[in-house]
Structure 1
């Protein structure tokens, strides 16, 4: 028997039907979208109506509206492009499908210069538009030129947080700290999480420090996070605009107990905020905790020396 010539077909008995590639790709895309949408469960009370941003982010700070609009616009643009591309792909599959009597291979044509220019320029324009809005909003969110009403030093450490509240002159005033993650793996860490207090309606500047490795300060409801790099302090400003309780966490994989590096945020009235500072002062938590590992070692060394001297005195 000779080899089949171009355009011949197998007999109906041997021919197998295969699902169109576009159909297979569509099914895989749908399944992937469903699986990825499950990631929204990691966000507190996220909903599709808010494009899977945390529901408690609505009106949380002076920046959340701007950031949510950038998020929504990016997704809308991506969905429009996706629908257009899939629509054209499916149209080509249907309109130019192989019909009975057609050769196995379609007619080969040369490049189409206008179309190639089109699908080169359009993506560049899209990236340019997204870059413009991203750069504009990033500049606004990271602007720290305003004199803050409150300055708080946030210190990340393995695996907890220290909060140093500064006074109006930028000097250490009082501090708060949470116990480090239980290295024995026992439960109960949630009960000892540090709580960051913020006054509603006042501009707060966060000065971010890391005492050991790279951490990341993240309050999901604020739609803002920033890395904390040893030796390279970062800062940003935010104005909480509604009272409430929020969750915070480290967003950088920083070690064995990264998952337990959590904290609470409580936005309260200025009067309650001042009362909190007064309570810390009354508890003897005045001054500030070290922002660097060297400073922490000095404090630990001084404490050890004081304990040794106390022990020697008792022995005498």
Structure 2
């Protein structure tokens, strides 16, 4: 009788705590504390948000059940006053052991399936993108090629003021037109970097000698935070940039401004890469040949 009463008390307490917790959730908590401004930033952010928050809700439910069972077992099977000796020993409960094996496997398969689907949607190439840009990472700044317009922007390392805040005029800015399918080619001029637009909830490595791609449609105008997400050297923390999503008219005006400056015409390459010993390069072979000739 006591064990049933204890189980009821534990169940009621757990339900009350869960109800109060869920009822008190703020919009930020309901979105899993994802970065502010990421709502509807691209065509992919709703799917990423859904995967993230659904995973946390499921894991929270599993955690509450596990904690509830632990609390119930601690109360229901505690030593009572006057009891002595060892409690009754139980083992080989096949139904429970089967449940504890099957349930995690089902959860893992479910997480994998939904994650794979979301990743497949994000990584699916756009056949004929309306806009193409190329991002070249370099220690410790960014270059942006607007490939269809045949112009570029060359960035410098972001400078900071006395308080450590970035100086706005030194910040590299990548312009994108809103609601246009976009292909972003990612290149590195030296070491491994990572292109991360915080509010887009997605990042991708930039590997020397390899071109990676991102495909997205910016669906909200505004200024978004960008940074390198791969430790790349002494001034990694200053390798910042911004993505400015604007209407087509403003985008065209910005491109026209770049074209008016001869220094911005044409596209930049990775020719100034200090890392010359990359796959496909003949530098090592040339050096070996020179040494043999000297001998």
- 2:126, 2:183 within 8 Å by CA — same for their partners in 1? no
Alignment match of 2:109 (pick from 124, 128, 135): 128
State the shift of 1:180 in Å: 2.0
Alignment match of 2:62 (pick from 76, 81, 85): 81
Alignment match of 1:227 (pick from 185, 196, 205): 205
| Distance in 1 separating the partners of 2:218 and 2:126 | 18
| Distance in 2 separating the partners of 1:188 and 1:280 | 27
Alignment match of 1:190 (pick from 167, 190, 206): 167
Q: CA RMSD in A?
A: 2.3
- 1:155, 1:210 within 8 Å by CA — same for their partners in 2? yes
- 1:179, 1:194 within 8 Å by CA — same for their partners in 2? yes
- Give CA deviations for 1:122-172 in whole Å, capped at 9, x if unaligned: 00000111111000010001111431111111111111111011017xxxx
1:311 counterpart residue number: none
State the shift of 1:182 in Å: 5.3
- 1:217, 1:250 within 8 Å by CA — same for their partners in 2? yes
- 2:178, 2:218 within 8 Å by CA — same for their partners in 1? yes
1:286 counterpart residue number: 265
1:146 counterpart residue number: 127
| Distance in 1 separating the partners of 2:90 and 2:225 | 59
Q: What secondary structure does 1:57 align onto?
A: coil
Alignment match of 1:177 (pick from 121, 144, 154): 154
Larger radius of gyration: 1
- 1:209, 1:233 within 8 Å by CA — same for their partners in 2? yes
Pairs aligned (count): 248
TM-score by structure 1 length? Answer: 0.73
Alignment match of 1:51 (pick from 24, 32, 36): 32
State the shift of 1:110 in Å: 2.6
TM-score by structure 2 length? Answer: 0.78
| Distance in 2 separating the partners of 1:200 and 1:106 | 68
1:101 counterpart residue number: 82
| Distance in 1 separating the partners of 2:275 and 2:143 | 12
- Give CA deviations for 1:166-186 in whole Å, capped at 9, x if unaligned: 017xxxx01102212459x99
